[in-house]
Amino acid sequence: MRGAFITFEGVEGVGKSTLIEFAAAHLESTGRIVLRTREPGGTPLAEAIRSLLIGECREGMHADTELLLMFAARNQHLETRIRPALDENRWVLSDRFNDASYAYQGGGRGIDMERIRFLECFVQRGLQPDLTFLLDAPLEIGMRRAAMRQRKADRFESEAMFFFERVRNVYLERASLEPQRFRLIDASQSLEAVQAEVRKKLDEFIAYWEELK
Ligand code: TMP
């Protein structure tokens, strides 16, 4: 049996990074070997593509170019890091994965979802996350937290509020269509409450995964 593939999604500022560290520590405390990674990125080449994607682009990046770069980075990440780790029975925790392409490129940029599905089939060849935590909070909360970061906003963070509204709506829509994979977490609660909920949902998932063996 391979390891489980768990992803964390949500708009900027909802606290994904802190929660991934928490989830990884919890899984490690149960003796599991964990790979923490992120998208776009996760390998040197995919991180180079990430820099192109989030950095300033003077000529303006066409939405399809952005989508193709996301999936090019995803392909490298999957083939050289994620699949090998899962095959070695490691648990992979990724800060974002394919749902982000539907939310940001589909919802945010307005690309036809069928074109995204086409690339998803090509690159993922049936591999989907086994479990996805969607951290959700009213946009003002996330935006306020993201604005407190001590650096210049990247290409995505500079988008207008209605861009993030569309992103959030697509995330919520996907979560309601796939309730068996998604765990919707109210990220506006206190950190302790969010962590307690994630720990409980992880424990339930571990029990389910063990039964599959
Ligand atoms: P991060 O802020 O979580 O590090 O992610 C970088 C940005 O990349 C974030 O604004 C969301 C965006 N993104 C997409 O637009 N599509 C994708 O498929 C992924 C993985 C990320």
Domain count, the chain: 1
- Region 151-178: what's the mean pLDDT? 94
Q: What is the pLDDT of residue 173?
A: 98
Distance 213 CA to ligand 1 centre (A): 33
101 CB less than 6 Å from ligand 1? yes
Q: What is the pLDDT of residues 111-120, one digit of tens each?
A: 999 999 999 9
Distance 190 CA to ligand 1 centre (A): 24
Quote the CA–CA distance of 194 and 172 in Å, as a whole number.
Answer: 18
Q: Containing domain of residue 125, as a range?
A: 5-212
The preferred substitution site among 96, 99, 149 for testing ligand 1, maximizing ligand atoms within 8 Å of CB, is 96
Distance 25 CA to ligand 1 centre (A): 24
Q: What is the pTM of this model?
A: 0.97
Quote the CA–CA distance of 103 and 10 in Å, as a whole number.
Answer: 9
Residues facing 131 on adjacent strands: 6
CATH number at residue 77: 3.40.50.300
156 CB less than 6 Å from ligand 1? yes
